[in-house]
Amino acid sequence: MGSGAFAFLEEGGALKQAVNQGRFQLGERPLTSNSCPLPPERLGTLTPSDPARPLAALKEQYRAQGYLWLRGFLPHNEVLAFRRRFFTAFQNTGLLKPGVGPADGIFSGLEDKRQTNKVLMEQARTAAYESFCVQPRLWQFFDAFLDGPSYLHKRKIIRYLTPGSDWATPAHYDLIYLRGGTERVVSSWIPLGDIPLEMGGLIYLEGSDALGRKMETEFVHRNAKLSPEERISAYNKNMSEGGWIGKDLAAMADRFDSRWLVADYEAGDVVVHSPYMIHASTDNTDSRGRIRLSTDIRYQNVREEIDARWNNHWTLEDML
Ligand SMILES: O=C(O)CCC(=O)C(=O)O
C-alpha cells in the first residue's frame, strides 16, 4: 500500500475531524473505559504508518512515538479466516448468537464462563494460532526491526471482549510484567477482525514511553531491597494491585496533561508498542453485538535476555 493511501487518515479522516471538532463520542454516548467517560479534550488519534516505508523511518517513528500502527500489514482475508476459525470452536458453548456465521462473532448475550474459558485455553494452544503468530510476514519484520533473529515469547495472549462486558484493560506498560528479560522486548497487538471505536480497541497515552521509563526507574529504586524474585514481580508490595497504573484514564490524562490516542482498527492492522508505552482499552459497546477479538504477543532479539517466566503457554491463572 503506497503512502498516498494514508494521507486521508493523517489529514482528513472522519475520526480525526471528529476529535478536532471536539465532538468525539459514539453517537450520543462518550467513549468509556471501565465505565469511566473519556472527555473529548483528552482524546486524539493514533498516527498510522505505512508498513512499506523504509525500515529506518519506521524505527525512528517507533522511537519518537513509542508505537507503530502498521495499517494493512497482514492479508485482510487471512485475518478474517482466523477469526472465523476461532469462533467456530465456540459454536456449542452458547457464546454466539444462533443463525449468524462464526466469522461475525456476534454475542448471544449470555456466557457460560466454565465452557468458554475451556475452549479459549484450547484455542491458545492450537497449531493454527501458533502458526498465525509465527507467520513469516511477522518474524521477518521483527528480525529486521530488532537487528537480529527474533524470538517470539511462548506466552501468547488471545482475548475476546463481549459487548456490554464490565471489563476493559486498565492502564499499564508491559515491562511491569516482563522485568526478567531485556527492556528491548516489543509487543505486538493484532486485531483479529475489524475493531472500530465502539468495539473497544487498544488506546495509548500520547508521549508515555518517556513516562513509563521514568516510572520504571522509580520502581527499580524502590524495589532494590527486595529479593530477586520479588523485584521482577508485577505484584510486589511497591506495585498497585495487579501491576495496573490505574483504571480512571481521564484522571490519568489530566495528571500527565496528555491525551489518549484512539483508532478504528481493521483486520490486517498490526500495532507494535514499546514496553514502556502506557496503554489501556475502551469498553466494547457495539450495538451490533460484535465480539472484539485480538491477540497480543511479544518479540525480542533472541540474543538478549529472555524472561523465563514467559516460557509457557498463557493460562488464565498464571498470574504473570
Ligand atoms: O487487548 C487488550 O485489551 C490488552 C492488550 C495489551 O495490554 C497489550 O497488547 O499489551
User: Tell me: the pLDDT tens digits for 199-250?
Assistant: 999 999 999 999 999 999 998 888 888 888 888 888 777 777 666 788 999 9
Q: What is the pLDDT of residue 244?
A: 73
Round to whole Å and give the CA distance between 144 and 274.
16
Residue that wins the pLDDT comparison between 225 and 22: 225
Burial class (CB in 10 A: 0-12, 13-18, 19+), 58: buried
Which of 204, 281, 282 is the pocket-test mutation for ligand 1 (most atoms within 8 Å of CB)?
A: 281
Element (H, E) at 296: strand 292-301
Q: How far is the CA of 227 from the centre of ligand 1 (A)?
A: 28
**Looking at ligand 1, which residue's alpha carbon is closest to its atom 5?**
296
The answer to whether 259 and 44 are in contact (CB under 8 A) is yes
Over the stretch 105-157, which tens digit does the pLDDT of each residue have? 999 999 999 999 999 999 999 999 999 999 999 999 999 999 999 999 999 99
Of 208, 204, 202, 205, the closest CA to residue 281 belongs to 202
Q: What is the pLDDT of residue 195?
A: 96
Strands 292-301 and 186-191: antiparallel
Question: Is ligand 1 within 6 A of the CB of residue 296?
Answer: yes
Q: What are phi and psi of 136, to 5 degrees?
A: -55, -35
Q: How far is the CA of 280 from the centre of ligand 1 (A)?
A: 7
Question: Is ligand 1 within 6 A of the CB of residue 281?
Answer: yes
Rg (CA), the chain: 19
Q: By mean pLDDT, which of 74-78, 97-101, 196-200, 230-234 is the weakest?
A: 230-234
